Each structure stands twice: as structure tokens, then as C-alpha cells.
């Protein structure tokens, strides 16, 4: 079965530290919903941006994206990569999460700048590789 993969970045509308608990809510709801939809992936968050990769049946990923696009906790959502996979990269995680720790922020901010078109040419695989690296820390 082919797996559809979608990677997006968006601008956060959350005010930290007051709303930091809302990110934990996003992760908890995503994990429950993704199990039911057979979707896996990873979410990265820094104070200014979200980056998320979703993998699963095309219809399920499309349904999730409709909900994600309507979510007022972020804006300026840009899909930066879609592809069909033979096997999942995030098979062990219904939603791996890396949050606003200094290490995450130091790694993701330059990648997000490239994804937004600032700086050198951007390869979506660089962000996915970074997400896989952080997801492996959850094991």
C-alpha cells in the first residue's frame, strides 16, 4: 500500500509562555486521532513556527489537513513537500513531538527560514531528517 506524505510549516499564533499548554493539547489530540486514521508523523514547535509531517492513507491526510488549515492557533500554512512512500518513515510514532527547547530551536529556525524562501535553496528532506532525529529521542 502506498503511503502519502505531506510536510508543512506554519506561523504560530500562540503566546508563550502563557499558552504553552495548548501545544501539549495539540499533541495529545493528534496522537488519539492519528491512531484512528492510521496516520503517523512528527510535529516540531518553536515559539514562532510549527513544522509537521504526516504519513498515511491519502484521504486521511487530506482530512487532517482540512482541520489543520482551519486551526486558529497558526497561520500562513505552507505545504513544502508531498510524496508517495513505499514505507513510513515515522512508523513508530502516531505523533512524535519536539518542542521549544534550545536545541530544537537552534536546529529548526534556520531550516524554517530556508523553507520560507530566505537563504540558501531548501531541501524538504533536511527538515524530515531533522524530525526523524528528534523523534528517535522519544524512544
**What contacts 99, CB < 8 A, 6 or more positions away?**
23, 44, 45
Could you tell me the residue range of the domain that residue 103 belongs to?
Answer: 3-136
SS3 letters across 46-93: CCCEEEEEEEECHHHHHHHHHHHHCCCCEEEEEEEEEEEECCCCCCCC
| Total count of domains within the chain | 1
pLDDT at 54: 97
By C-alpha distance, which of 20, 8, 21, 101 is closest to 50?
8
CATH number of the domain enclosing 91: 3.30.70.100
User: pTM score, two decimals?
Assistant: 0.78
**What contacts 100, CB < 8 A, 6 or more positions away?**
16, 20, 45, 46, 47
Report the Cα–Cα distance between both ends of the chain, in Å, rounded: 26
* 14 DSSP assignment: P
Q: pLDDT tens string for the chain (139 positions)?
A: 789 999 998 988 988 777 778 888 888 999 999 999 999 999 988 878 888 999 999 999 999 999 999 999 999 998 989 999 999 999 999 988 877 665 556 666 666 666 666 655 556 777 788 778 777 766 5
pLDDT at 74: 93
pLDDT at 19: 73
* Calpha distance 139→121 (Å, rounded): 32
* Calpha distance 70→74 (Å, rounded): 9
Contact 136, 52 (CB under 8 A): no
* 40 DSSP assignment: E
pLDDT at 85: 96
Amino acid at each position: 500500500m502506498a503511503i502519502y506524505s505531506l510536510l508543512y510549516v506554519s506561523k504560530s499564533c500562540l503566546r508563550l509562555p502563557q499558552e504553552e499548554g495548548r501545544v501539549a493539547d495539540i499533541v495529545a489530540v493528534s496522537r488519539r486521532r492519528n491512531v484512528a486514521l492510521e496516520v503517523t508523523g512528527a510535529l516540531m514547535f518553536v515559539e514562532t513556527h510549527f513544522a509537521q509531517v504526516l504519513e498515511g492513507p491519502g484521504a486521511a491526510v487530506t482530512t487532517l489537513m482540512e482541520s489543520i488549515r482551519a486551526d486558529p492557533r497558526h497561520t500562513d500554512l505552507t505545504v513544502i513537500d508531498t510524496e508517495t512512500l513505499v514505507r513510513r518513515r515515522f512508523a513508530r510514532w502516531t505523533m512524535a513531538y519536539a518542542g521549544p527547547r534550545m536545541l530544537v530551536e537552534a536546529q529548526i529556525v534556520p531550516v524554517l527560514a530556508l523553507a520560507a524562501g530566505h537563504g540558501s535553496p531548501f531541501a524538504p528532506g533536511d527538515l524530515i531528517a531533522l524530525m526523524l532525529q528528534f523523534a528517535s529521542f522519544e524512544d
